[in-house]
Homo-oligomer: A and B are copies of this chain.
Amino acid sequence: MSSVQFDHVTVIKKSNVYFGGACISHTVQFEDGTKKTLGVILPTEQPLTFETHVPERMEIISGECRVKIADSAESELFRAGQSFYVPGNSMFHIEADEVLDYVCHLEG
């Protein structure tokens, strides 16, 4: 069960903006030196494509989205409380049906 908040963290004030604002995130740094991004994806008419460098776990905090990972044929629905995994040096396509809050765990 994920907490509703991150405690004892550092937050970078400047946001990361993708696709003209359809995806906005803030970088969160933890005491052990690891980083995650906390973000929002807005509903879009076309899926957004993100490339990964390190492996990522995308945890859905609220909302729901359809996701295709790499070149999989089928999209899968993910809802609040669920996560999906994307390998490093890969990509995923994501389409939010409503405002989506997520945490991106950089697993590399």
Chain B nearest CB, measured from A43 CB (Å): 8
* A15: chain B residues within 8 A (beta carbon): 40, 99, 101
Q: Mark A89-104, 1 if CB is under 8 A from B, else 0.
A: 0000000000101010
Chain B nearest CB, measured from A57 CB (Å): 14
Chain A contact residues, majority secondary structure: strand
Q: A4 near B: Cβ within 8 Å?
A: yes
**Chain copies in the assembled complex:** 2
Tier of interface size on chain A = 20 to 34
Chain B nearest CB, measured from A33 CB (Å): 14
- What is the CA–CA distance of A38 and B42 in the complex, to the nearest angstrom? 18
- Report A1-26 residues with CB < 8 Å from chain B CB: 2-15, 17, 20-22, 24, 26
